[in-house]
Each structure stands twice: as structure tokens, then as C-alpha cells.
Structure 1
Amino acid sequence: MKKTISQALIFVFVTLPIFTFASVDTVSTYSKTMDKEVKSMVITPSNYDEESQYPVVFLLHGYSGNYTSWLENAPETEKLADLYQMILVTPDGNFDSWYWDSPVDPKSQYETYITKELIPFIDDNYATIAKKEGRAITGLSMGGHGALYLAIRNQDIFGVAGSQSGGVDIAPFPENWNMKAYLGTKAESPSNWEDYSVMGQLHLLSQNKLPLIIHCGTNDFFYQVNLKLHEELTYLNIPHTFTSNPGGHTWDYWKESVQYQLLFFHNYFRENPSE
């Protein structure tokens, strides 16, 4: 018996994956404090909707880097904006600013820039959760120091913070990374080297007010200062997540670390809804 066409043909439906990409904007904001334009990259989810509200994570680059460093060296980071439905902002830290308001150089006022100029710009121009429960900050190396330093000093602005291989205690490194250009020499201005270090800000912390996540590889030259920070936080009974695992001061380490840190932030945002 002959088969009809409808009997002879077998249709197989295959669902193909839909590939979407986050959107990346380069923005320039004028800093009145420093009298200059400062660039940032802003990464929004592929389904970004102006009628929605998104949490924001600020990612700070390390020494000798700039606002493009995260996406140039860890391009997969932009996919995490989609995965966790968050906005990522990568501000320029002027190569070596350490994100301080320098007591020596009035043209290097990055704490004021980020907290009082950049954040209002992001909130005014993007669909953000414009309160601390919707805002996180982290970074690598110099940026890891900057993230904790800014968050601890501005707990009304940041709800959660992290550090990846951060230079969290600057005291052992008085001749490194041009820090003395912004603080004065350690011999001439010893108090600056205490006051402008993460370790010098711990007295501002209290239990369960600012969740912290700290990563550092055991082969990193900043490992001992990160271990010291962990021990001091433990002594002060400040809750925090500290991970030390094999790894050095490398992008391979940071590309893995940032995934865990953004998951940590995602869980925080989910547990602290905007309404």
C-alpha cells in the first residue's frame, strides 16, 4: 500500500538556543571636583527595560588599568550582567589613583567622584535601584582596596562590597605603585598611610551592616595582607566571606573570582528587594 505524503514525512522540531548579548555603553561624566571628564563603561542586560529597576555593581580596575580593563581582559563578564540581571559599571581610576580623595593632590579626588558624581549620573540615566540595597562595589588589586575603602566609608551608599586580590593594607608597600604621590611619603606623613588604608577603616564596621566577600590567591603577593584583614575582621566579630585558594595576581584568577562575587551580590539583592 502506498503511503500518503503526510504519512511518509516525519517532522522534527528542534529548539535552537537564542544568543543574546548585553549592551555596552561608553559614557563620559564631568567631574566638577577634579575639573575633568572621566570615562566609564556601563553594561546593561540584553533585555534591559527602562520601566524596570536593576541593581548596580561597580567594578574597579587595578593599578595601570583603566575603564576598559575588565571587558578587555575578562570579556565574559558582560554575560554575567544578563545572567544576574544587573547593571555593571567600570569607572576609570586614572591608572594609579587608589580611589582616594588625595590629601596631597587636589586633582585626584576619586572617592568624591564615584560617590557624589558618578553614582548620581548612573541613577539619573539608567533604570537603577537607587538606594544602597541595590548597589554593590568590588574590584581587583588597587580596585579591591578601593572597593572596600569606599564601601566601608560610605555605608549609606553601598549595601554590599567585595575585593579580589586587593591591596588592603598599604603600610608594607611605601615605595610601590606611586602611592606616595597621593599620600606623601610614609616617613613624612605616617598618619596618611594608616588613615587611607582599608585596615585603618575597620573601626567603622559593625555586625551585619555591610556584607563583605574577600578573595585572594595563596600565591599572590597580597595574600598576607588579605589574611591579616580576615583575621582582624574575625577578631572584631565582623561577618564576612573569605576565600583563599591557589592562584596568583592574574586575570585567570580574577575571571573566576568575579563570577563568585557577582553571585554573592545577586543573592544579597534578592534577599533585600527594592520594595
Structure 2
Amino acid sequence: MANIQCQFYSETLGMSTNIQVMLPQHSALRASRDGKLPVLYLLHGLGADHTEWGRHSSIERLAEEKGIALVMPSVGRSYYTDMKKGAPYFTYLSEELPAVARSLFPLSERREDNFVAGISMGGYGAFKLGLSFPERYAAAASLSGGLDIVSRVNGPNSFLPFEVECIFGNIAELKGSENDLFVLASRLAASQQQPPHLYQCCGTGDFLYQDNLIFRNHAIAVGLTITYEEEPGEHEWGYWERKIKRVLDWLPL
């Protein structure tokens, strides 16, 4: 597995940014994709960065075994949004990052070869991408995701003082906005678009467990198909290490 630390200038963010890219050196999947690799975008949690997955999990070995490329961006504490008082990270993530990554590395552009997954804040980001752009992603996976963002900002949370308004703006307008996954799920279910495969898991001892149940129930109620799993576990890497292996086995490769 080639493990690449890549820094480039982002026109969207107006600054240099970092991604970690892992490319399998021997992948049988390339032969059927004109030399290109299927790719999983792996999103980090709140307070972390692009190195989190490589430092805390066995993702490099697991991806090599599957023959899949990994792209891990860094978005600060943006909660994968176009911040009201900050950088447009969601536009960067959804538009510029895939284009730059494909220009530099042998990554497939086909929907059926593009996937996204994340933990905690990154689980929210993964579902936001998948629900917003179902034509681009074949699968999206949330591990212990902060999926009920309205509940997060109005209840106990890990945001810094004044950070919520910088990210989301007027909190009273957050519910029903483009940052509300419940709205995105309902909109997609009512459309004629093919939804991505959705995978969601959360440990029963996780502080986000109830939020995950609420989102799962909503997704099912509006007509989305979702693979949901729960088991004893908390908000920590021992649990995510087990579940990311499950995600890679679940991906429609």
C-alpha cells in the first residue's frame, strides 16, 4: 500500500490543505476499471484531522486486502458545512476534492466505484454527501455519527463557545436547512433518484445512540433502505476498528 501525505492549494478554501491518500499496489479491481481504482473517502471526527484513520485503525491493511483506494481529507471543526463565518468546506469536499484527487491519482469517476464513510462528525458528513449527491456515491456509511444535528447543537455537545453560530449561523434556522439530514433523507426518498446504499451503526453505550435511533427510524419511515447495526460499544476507536472492517466487507465492490 502506498501511503501518501499530500498538500495542495485549494482554490475553494483559499489556502493550502492536506489529504492522506492510500493506494493499493496490487489490486485486481483495476483491470475491470480501465486501470482506475474504486475509492473510499474517509472522514474524520470533531477535533481530528486527515491523519486520524491512519493513526488509530488498521485501515491501511484492510484497504490493501480489498484493493480499494482511500482519500482522507481535513476539514477542521467545520462539521462538513459551508461555514457561515469560515471556509466553504462542504463545497470543497463535494466539488474540488474529488476533482483534484482524480487529477493526481488513478481514481475511478464512476458512481459505482465511489464511496464515503466517517466516524462521529464524519458520519454526519458521509451521510450528508451521500444524501445530497446520490448520483455520485454508490454507498455511504456512518459510524457513531452525529446525525441529529439539531439535537446536537441544542443539547450537550462538544462545540466550543460561539462555535455553533460560526458553523451553522442562526440556530433557529438550522432545522429544515441544507444541514439537516432529516430533510435531505426525506427529499431524496421523495425524488426519482437512486439512493446510495446506506450503512449505519452505533454502540448502545454511545452518547449518540438515541440520536442514531431517531435518524434510523426517520430514514425507514420516509422509505429509504438502510443497513443498521447496533451492539455494545462506546464512542471510541476499539469499536470503530471493528466496524470499519464490517463496512469494507459491506461495500458493493
TM-score scaled by structure 2?
Answer: 0.89
Contact 2:19 2:74 in 1 (8 A): yes
Match of 2:225 in 1: 239
1:253, 1:233 → 2: CA distance? 24
Matched, 1:28 2:21: no
CA deviations 1:160-206 (Å, max 9, x no partner) are 101000000011222632333211252xxx12243112223112323
Picking from 203, 211, 225, the partner of 1:217 is: 203
CA deviations 1:222-251 (Å, max 9, x no partner) are 101110111111112211100011100001
1:248, 1:109 → 2: CA distance? 31
Q: Structure 1: 5+ residue runs without aligned partners?
A: 1-21, 270-275
Paired AA for residue 144 in structure 1: G
Matched, 1:154 2:133: yes
Match of 1:99 in 2: 80
2:62, 2:181 → 1: CA distance? 28
Q: Which has the larger radius of gyration?
A: 1
CA RMSD after TM alignment:
1.8
Contact 1:33 1:113 in 2 (8 A): yes
Picking from 158, 167, 180, the partner of 2:165 is: 180
2:211, 2:121 → 1: CA distance? 13
CA deviations 1:119-148 (Å, max 9, x no partner) are 011111221221211100010000000110
Matched, 1:109 2:92: no
Between Structure 1 and Structure 2, how many residues are aligned? 239
Q: Which moved more, 1:60-69 or 1:171-180?
A: 171-180
Matched, 1:71 2:54: yes
Matched, 1:62 2:45: yes
Matched, 1:140 2:119: yes
CA deviations 1:61-104 (Å, max 9, x no partner) are 00000011111111x1101121110001110011x1111112x1
Q: Secondary structure at the match of 1:179?
A: helix
TM-score scaled by structure 1?
Answer: 0.82
